[in-house]
Amino acid sequence: MADAGAGRSRWAAPALGAGSVIAIFAALEILLKTGIVNRFIVPYPSAVLLSLERIIVEENVLGRVGETAFEMFFSCIAVILIGVPIGTALYRYRALRRAVEDWVAALAAAPLVLAFPLFLVLFGRSSLTIIVMSVITGLAPIIIKTTEGLAGVRPVLINVGKSLKMGDSQMFWKILIPAALPVIFSGIRLSWTFVLISVVGIEFLINLGGLGQLINDLAERYDLPGTYAAILFVVGVSVCFFMILERVETWLRPNP
Amino acid sequence: MAATEPVRPKAARSQGWTAGGPVSGRDTNLIRIGIVLGAAILWEGVSRSGWLFQDVVPSLLAIGAAIGKMLVNPAFYANLQVTAGEVFASLAIGGALGIFTGIALGSNRFLGAAFEPYVYYLAPTPRIIFFPVMIMWFGVGAASKIALGALSCFFTVALSTAGGMRGIDTVLIRVGKSFRATPWQMGMKIYLPAMRVPVLNGIRLGFGTAMVTALLAETKLSNQGLGYMIMQIYSRFDMPSLYALLIIVFIIAGAGNLILGRVTGTNA
Amino acid sequence: MNNAAANAAGDKAVPVMPAPAAEAQLVIDRVSKRFGEGPGAVVAVDDMSFDVMPGEFVACIGPSGCGKSTLFNIIGGLQEEYVGNVMIDKSRIAGPHAAVGMVFQEESTFPWRNVLDNVAFPLELQNVGQSERRDRAQKFISLVGLQGFEKRMPSELSGGMRQRVSIARTLVSGPRILLMDEPFAALDEQTRLLLGDKITQIQQELHQTTLLITHNLTEAVQLSDRIVVMTYRPGRVKRIVNIDLPRPRTSDVVSSPAFGKYVAEIWGDLREEATRGMEEAEAGAAARGKTARG
């Protein structure tokens, strides 16, 4: 049903959203000026925006992004290389799936990141700690979604493969994987989101590496606008990361 | 059995991807026992072999003893109480705000289009990085952990409430209207029961995020709570106790999740 | 278009409910509805007129996309803005009317209520006391043949049973006009025929005035006293056919030669429209494909 209002609100809604964000910042600026909000707790929004530049130039943000990206890269690859085969095994061996499915689900809900002190002991304060911890955190969704995706392949497609006398590996690469790919990728997206949270979070917690450490450093120096600007920057980077993943996912999904 | 399907076993082998007779409960349990035993033997073997420092992979007996000791340690219960208090306060504050926001975003398409993208994209950002700000605002005590926990579960609850509101089968709303239900009746008899599952599921997930965030914040800066206790044990390099406490925390988290799942009728 | 209705009435086919002096229960009078404005506007319903007499079973049949559902929503009062008049008791419909009970095409039972509570739902809205609620709901549960399933949840029932729950739920509210939109669309052919029997039996038992919206020829002929054939986009009244098959009917009627004759006759009308609808849908898909690729 074509609604007459739809054309109007296409721009009105995002405008309201963005406008509200700007209005909140403007209001904050005024409240700070008048002293209603304490300047020693909340910096001027304008000062935060100005510090963005300072941070990028002086604090070697690009280098830090690189460091975080390096840890992300290895974690993300490892998550796929470990998670997809496990998910496939759980699909193929139903008894195994029945046996450990609940465990994997419990793993997904467990606060695994808390184990980071354990890995500090094992690997010291190094990137390896961050990577290993992040892989463990990100593994469950990809395993679950791989199994789910493969199990959800329409039986008729498998029957087509059988009727063409396809072998096991042909069946896997030419039918099962392509058919399950959208679901598997949604698992990848979830896993990579977990990985990002974990990488930045542990960087912050153990004060090592890229963007997470930046926030920690600035906070410890009590650089108020700097801390806020760095948080803003990290939030921005993560949002971009999610948006890209989401684009890829919609692109992979077959059009209805 | 063999008489009724004489060809089946051979055929099944070449159709590995779809192989499947029913799996018996006995097989499932055997596999589980096998995995647990295998892991235990491997662990104990590594521990005794001394390949890694013995401290890093302590004997299972040592871990077991540490768990026992932890469970009679009054400090553990004091810290557990602090953390539990923080988590429930977070859940109450963040959950209430989340449900309220979710209903606003889900019931009004315009508001949803204007503000939901912000909630949606901010939801998965690493929340722990807001901790310095929370310390500035609320101090180093429990309040900053509660605030951070509330912030974390707010997004989860808001998104699932909004989604649940929008996910209501529109035909059910039309049924209500066709019977001329009043707005109050629509809310109580249609919207509320239809949204129950996603909202409660959001609360369950929110509980998980609030707990992780509060615990992590405690490891970073605090003087009480289970997270603080973990860091204390870590600084003593008391590995058996570290394992013991982590195992206990995971079990508590799992149990909390399970109980909320049971209570709310949503699965993990 | 009023003359179409007049033609049909003057067709000399003896109406099944011969009450020449009776007032029509439901009057559809020059009803139109368009969506959108300008060149992109779609006229869903265009100047439709027909009546439904008390106790009569009328079916509206037309190809997919002919505006049937729009008409359903207008009569049910869910589509409040339209041109022309839908009259019940000399008052114009604008909003859900107590005299109209709707049965929807989609699965519409409440998944969180058992059969009894689903059926009792309208009584609950009217604050009917619990014991009376149970008695009245029970009566209609038996009427649709679901006695013994009162405590079951919808998820434990088959699609056909769930649709019967919906029908009972609507009947319990005591509508003077039962309005159904493709209530059997999601069901298989055999279930559909058997449910048709149930509907006929209920209609004969309650003398329930019914307007059925459907695209299914067999269903329409099996159940109706009169059939309003609609054109494809915009939806207009193409013809009104009196179905002069004996009552009481059962699904056995589908094997009679008279039944075949009616089906063939209406299919002749419908075929043109369905063909046109299919062509337009295909042209639309082709155009969409072009823009998607370009």
For the CA atoms of C193, C195, C197, C202, the dihedral, rounded to the nearest 10 degrees, stands at -160
* Distance to chain C for B98, nearest Cα, Å: 24
- pLDDT one-digit tens code per residue, A218-252: 888 888 888 888 898 899 999 999 999 988 888 87
C48-to-A224, C5, C6 alpha-carbon distances in Å: 70, 10, 13
A120 and A72 within one domain: yes
Selected residue with higher pLDDT from A40 and B121: B121
Instruction: Indicate yes or no: CB of B189 within 8 angstroms of CB of C122.
Output: no
Q: Specify if A181 maps to a domain.
A: yes
Check residue A172 and report its DSSP letter: I
Q: Which residues of C touch B178 (CB under 8 A)?
A: 76-78, 96, 100-102
Q: Specify if A48 maps to a domain.
A: no
Total domains in chain A come to 2
- With an 8 Å Cβ cutoff, is C35 touching chain A? yes
Domain that holds residue A18: 1-42
Q: Rounded CA gap, B164 and B103, in Å?
A: 9
A134 and A35 within one domain: no
Selected residue with higher pLDDT from C222 and B87: B87
A248 and A182 within one domain: yes
> How many whole angstroms from its chain centre is CA C166?
14
Number of helices (H), then strands (E), in chain C? 8, 10
* Distance to chain C for B181, nearest Cα, Å: 6
A124 and A178 within one domain: yes
Q: Specify if A121 maps to a domain.
A: yes
B187 membership: H or E segment, kind and range: none
A113 and A20 within one domain: no
Write down the mean pLDDT value for chain A: 85
Contact (CB, 8 A) for C194 and C225: no
A34 and A116 within one domain: no
What residue type is assigned to position A195 of the chain? Answer: V
Question: In the B/C pair of chains, how many CB contacts fall below 8 A?
Answer: 48
Walk me through the domains of chain B, giving residue ranges and CATH numbers.
Answer: 85-225 (1.10.3720.10)
A2 and A66 within one domain: no
Q: Specify if A137 maps to a domain.
A: yes
Write down the mean pLDDT value for chain B: 85
Instruction: Indicate yes or no: CB of C121 within 8 angstroms of CB of B174.
Output: no
pLDDT at A182 over 80: yes
pLDDT at B115 over 80: yes
Q: Which of B171, B185, B194 sits opposite C125 (nearest CB)?
A: B185
- Kindly identify which residue of chain A lies nearest to residue B205, measuring between CA atoms: A109
**Would you state the pLDDT for residue C4?**
43
Nearest Cα to Cα of residue A87 among A73, A101, A106: A101
- With an 8 Å Cβ cutoff, is A6 touching chain C? no
CATH number of the structural domain spanning residue A194: 1.10.3720.10
pTM over 0.80? The answer is no
**Would you state the pLDDT for residue A88?**
92
- pLDDT one-digit tens code per residue, A17-51: 888 888 888 888 888 888 777 777 788 888 888 88
Q: What is the ipTM of this complex?
A: 0.85
A12 and A94 within one domain: no
Q: Specify if A14 maps to a domain.
A: yes
**Would you state the pLDDT for residue B237?**
85
Q: Specify if A216 maps to a domain.
A: yes
**Would you state the pLDDT for residue B7?**
36
B241-to-A173, A202, B53, B57, C117 alpha-carbon distances in Å: 47, 22, 16, 12, 55
pLDDT at A8 over 60: no
What does the pLDDT average to over B33-59?
A: 82
Contact (CB, 8 A) for A148 and A161: no
Burial readout C97-118 (b: 16 or more C-beta within 10 A, e: otherwise) = bebbbbbbbbebbbebbbbbbb
Q: Which of B52-61, B118-127, B152-161, C103-112 has the lowest mean pLDDT?
A: B52-61
Contact (CB, 8 A) for B128 and B214: no
What does the pLDDT average to over C174-189?
A: 85
A86 and A8 within one domain: no
Q: Specify if A50 maps to a domain.
A: no
* Distance to chain A for C49, nearest Cα, Å: 23
A233 and A153 within one domain: yes
A177 and A110 within one domain: yes
The first and second tokens of residue B267, run together, are 């699965």
A37 and A132 within one domain: no
Phi and psi angles of residue C38, each rounded to the nearest 5 degrees, phi first: 70, -155
Q: Specify if A205 maps to a domain.
A: yes
